[in-house]
Amino acid sequence: MLSSCGGGDKYKDGTYTGTSVDEEQGSSMYVEITITDGAISDCKMVAKDKEGNIKDENYGKSAGGALYEKAQRAVKGMKEYPELLIEAGNPDDVDAVAGATVSGQQFKLAVKAALELAK
pTM of the model: 0.86
* CB atoms near residue 91 (< 10 Å): 24
Q: Which domains does the chain have, with CATH numbers?
A: 14-117 (3.90.1010.20)
CA angle 21, 41, 102 (to 5 degrees): 25
List pLDDT tens digits, range 37-80.
888 888 899 999 999 999 999 999 999 999 999 999 999 999 99
